[in-house]
Structure 1
Amino acid sequence: MAGQMTELAPDAGFGGKNAKLKSALLQHKALSFAGLSERLFGLLFSGLVYPQIWEDPIVDMAAMQIEPGHRIVTIGSGGCNMLTYLSAGPARIDVVDLNPHHIALNRLKLAAFRHLPSHKDVVRFLGSTGTRSNAQAFDLFLAPTLDAGTRTYWNGRDLMGRRRIGVLGRNIYRTGLLGRFIAASHVLARLHGVNPADFVQARSMREQRQFFDDKLAPLFDRPVIRWITGRKSSLFGLGIPPQQFDELASLSEERSLAAVLRHRLEKLTCHFPLRENYFAWQAFGRRYPLPHEGDLPPYLQASNYEAIRNHADRVAVHHESFTDLLGRKPASSVDRYVLLDAQDWMSDRQLYDLWSEVTRTAAPGAVVIFRTAAEASILPGRLSSALIDQWHYDAETSSKLGIEDRSAIYGGFHVYRKKA
């Protein structure tokens, strides 16, 4: 039945529910260097990775121009963008993810909008820190409404024996693979005499620029940091697999990512006012801004609350691959596709299989958006002309919106439109 929830194992790993994730990540023999890198990344990626998605939803919305009646398929990740899309009132959103921890988080966020009493309660539950009552809110309002697998997951225990749901009472955004990576980056910077958290004291873009030039930029010339950024495993904490590292390293003559990361950190800190960039707040403040400090993510803003709450039942969350889900859909049945950066991981065969299903299921005027580690689209030269010729690459919109992406992580944002 469409929208039926797949149960989660309480402690899913590569041996269980994460077998799908494993098969997607591993492309080389285990004893090869590439194979070892893939398996290390897979081990790290098998837990919660992104408590917050790091693709700018405002850019996504501008590219897709969602209308009532549109049917969307998107990768879930941290779930924030899927909720933002709901504010436009699409007919249906299918969310897919191979990581069972992301599945549990997406379902929890949807339940919060459906069943918590008010907008303030949703913000307290998903956007605040140090709110111990969130566990009680889960028990009272959410747990009875969840499917058995998701309820078991959040009632399960972490490595310290605490209920998983307790993280919503502390600071979920300091957890997960990305949260730990940011924490490690702060420690490394502090060892070099810089406290990244001081950045949130900036009161103008001039002060933001000064902090970057005086404090952050010089870090990338430090020998230890240049050595670290020359290792593939150093960026696994950002969710960047070995394949993406190679794409990024190709931008640098030294095969080190120091220069690339410096450029992208400059965009994050200097190109957008801090008040308007919750990605910068998470990177430096490790939290969302308070009302007097700046804007919350779109899905937590009061102006979008009613629309998201009213449309939350239009979402189905699936623990499977994008390609497998599309394989069950009729021809011409999807209007918008959101692939995040997943194609950077794919082999040529996986890419062909994906775009065969995308092309088959695309409705007239369908739009596909995705991001890449490097600047250029990865599709030319990898897809057959029979597939790629059915799509128009909107280079102008891609370039314009890529510049506007406040997360600043990716090198390229790409928009493809189905030809008539």
Structure 2
Amino acid sequence: MEIYGKTPRFGMDERLKGALLQHKPLTRAGLSERLFGWMFSGLVYPQIWEDPEVDLAAMELRPEHRIATIASGGCNMLTYLAAGPASIDVVDLNASHIALNRLKIAAFAHLPNHADVIRFFGRADERANSVAYDRFIAEKLEPSARRYWESRRLNGRRRIDLFNRNIYRSGLLGRFIGASHMAAKVYGVDLTELVRARGLDEQRQFFDNKIAPIFERKTVRWITARKSSLFGLGIPPRQFDELASLSSEKSLAGVLRQRVEKLVCNFPLEENYFAWQAFARRYPRPEEGNMPPYLAERNYRPIKDRLDRVTLHHTDFATMLSVKPARSMDRYVLLDAQDWMTDAQLAGLWSEISRTARDGARVIFRTAAEKSIIEGRLPYGIASQWTYLSERSAELNEQDRSAIYGGFHIYEKIA
């Protein structure tokens, strides 16, 4: 395991500023970018919100493949590892996410068994977790990650103690989900009741009768017209504008209603751990449904045996690729990062992707809006090297259980 560059600082450092800040500080857009950057500099996603089953179907991994992916919460990186690629380069500008990924890797490496991993990341709400950290993980953890997890929060407790009290209720997104539950209760709706539904018909009934009317409330429509109101979802100002392009009104209430409808109504609860996190604020118990694939018992040993194939990088994607040899990579996972980028940033990123990609390489990413964010924005010399697998992209987008994105996209390098 290694990390490129300086030891991470847990704040809005220059790398994050470079990715986010496009306007002058004292403009409305500039202030919005800086507020989001400040909020985004801490832990945002305890769990990644892209469906790894869809990613694996799109990538069609083989043993010789080399993957580059954005880290986020680290769940998907470990799921890819279980599929047995040759290597995975994991990159993130957010130092808190790097620390979380290091913790997950160390837990798989040093906790005694699969049950301990499940208790730590699947339940994440027992005092035994911080005890296990001190006994099995702390001394083996990379120094900057150890400093992060053992630093004190405002309440005087160590960060690692979050795993004693449900880590999934923390982070920017966890707090946003908690605030959404409180807001729903103002209108007399207990969102946790969804998990009592038995089958898709009852899930649909709960959405139509309980959830959908909330999005018609004037207060909700006013709130969702403000960019800062959705920073808790990890939606930066530029991505807000992409979502707003889908609506004829300033509010995003209609768009969000459609996304929540897909989350609630399109997949059985026992198959959708994303819905459990959104509505029950936890993963299902074994008798209730499935956890993320990286926590499945069948994947425990394959992940544990392949941890040395993972390299973490605290930097941006293009910089990480810039030190790679030409024609050395096979799969690229960009999440929704391109929604944040200017044309110049997109061109720089895809220049490095095109240089390092082998024939037949694939790039997968998601977008807030439905259409691909790169169409018509890349220089011809770069765009002409890639073909868009539009039908397969649309098919897999419908299968994405997280339901929060408008589009899923696959590009393949032309041989």
With the shorter chain as reference, the TM-score category is: over 0.9
Q: Which range is displaced more, 366-375 or 136-145?
A: 136-145
Aligned 1:157-196 pairs, distance under 5 A: 157-196=152-191
CA distance in 2, matches of 1:147, 1:254: 48
Contact 1:205 1:273 in 2 (8 A): yes
Q: Is residue 2:334 matched to residue 1:339?
A: yes
Aligned match for 2:81, one of 86, 89, 92: 86
Aligned match for 2:369, one of 360, 371, 374: 374
CA distance in 1, matches of 2:116, 2:255: 40
Q: Which range is displaced more, 170-179 or 144-153?
A: 144-153
Q: Is residue 2:387 matched to residue 1:392?
A: yes
- Residue 408 of structure 1 aligns to a residue whose secondary structure is coil
Q: Is residue 2:134 matched to residue 1:139?
A: yes
CA distance in 2, matches of 1:189, 1:8: 42
Residue in 2 that maps onto 1:61:
56
**Structure 2 alignment gaps of length 5 or more:** none
- After superposition, what is the alpha-carbon deviation per residue over 1:45-76, rounded to whole angstroms, capped at 9, x for unaligned? 01100000000000000000111121100000
Aligned match for 1:383, one of 378, 382, 394: 378
Residue in 1 that maps onto 2:11:
13
CA distance in 2, matches of 1:76, 1:130: 23
Contact 2:327 2:358 in 1 (8 A): yes
**Structure 1 alignment gaps of length 5 or more:** none
Q: Is residue 2:275 matched to residue 1:280?
A: yes
- After superposition, what is the alpha-carbon deviation per residue over 1:329-379, rounded to whole angstroms, capped at 9, x for unaligned? 000011000000000000111100000000000011100000000000011
Residue in 2 that maps onto 1:270:
265
Aligned match for 2:29, one of 17, 20, 34: 34
- Residue 306 of structure 2 aligns to a residue whose secondary structure is helix
Q: Is residue 2:2 matched to residue 1:3?
A: yes
Shift of 1:209: 0.3
Tell me how large the CA RMSD over aligned residues is. Answer: 1.1
CA distance in 2, matches of 1:272, 1:185: 21
Q: Percent identity?
A: 64
Contact 1:8 1:150 in 2 (8 A): no
Shift of 1:207: 0.6
Residue in 2 that maps onto 1:321:
316
- After superposition, what is the alpha-carbon deviation per residue over 1:364-416, rounded to whole angstroms, capped at 9, x for unaligned? 11000000000000111110111111001000110000000000000000000
Aligned match for 1:208, one of 203, 210, 226: 203
- Residue 402 of structure 2 aligns to a residue whose secondary structure is coil
- Residue 255 of structure 1 aligns to a residue whose secondary structure is coil
Aligned match for 1:70, one of 46, 62, 65: 65
Q: Is residue 2:224 matched to residue 1:229?
A: yes
CA distance in 1, matches of 2:162, 2:4: 23
Q: Is residue 2:402 matched to residue 1:407?
A: yes
Shift of 1:158: 1.1
CA distance in 1, matches of 2:74, 2:302: 16
CA distance in 2, matches of 1:130, 1:181: 19
Shift of 1:8: 4.4
Shift of 1:129: 3.7
Aligned match for 2:93, one of 85, 95, 98: 98
Q: Is residue 2:362 matched to residue 1:364?
A: no
CA distance in 2, matches of 1:4, 1:185: 36
Compute the TM-score of the two structures, normalised by the length of structure 1: 0.97
Shift of 1:4: 4.1
Shift of 1:151: 1.1
Shift of 1:32: 1.1
Contact 1:7 1:149 in 2 (8 A): no
CA distance in 2, matches of 1:344, 1:122: 34
CA distance in 1, matches of 2:143, 2:31: 36
Q: Is residue 2:143 matched to residue 1:148?
A: yes
Q: Is residue 2:348 matched to residue 1:349?
A: no
CA distance in 2, matches of 1:6, 1:202: 49
Residue in 1 that maps onto 2:305:
310
Contact 1:7 1:147 in 2 (8 A): no
CA distance in 1, matches of 2:212, 2:232: 21
Residue in 1 that maps onto 2:108:
113
Contact 2:125 2:167 in 1 (8 A): no
Count residues in correspondence: 415
- Tell me the amino acid that sits aligned with residue 280 of structure 1: A
CA distance in 2, matches of 1:12, 1:121: 28
- Tell me the amino acid that sits aligned with residue 3 of structure 1: E
Structure 1 residues 377 and 125: alpha-carbon distance in aligned structure 2, compared to 1, 3 A threshold: same
CA distance in 2, matches of 1:52, 1:135: 19
Compute the TM-score of the two structures, normalised by the length of structure 2: 0.98
Shift of 1:204: 1.0
Contact 1:60 1:369 in 2 (8 A): yes
Contact 2:3 2:314 in 1 (8 A): no
Shift of 1:7: 6.4
Shift of 1:243: 0.4
- Tell me the amino acid that sits aligned with residue 193 of structure 1: G
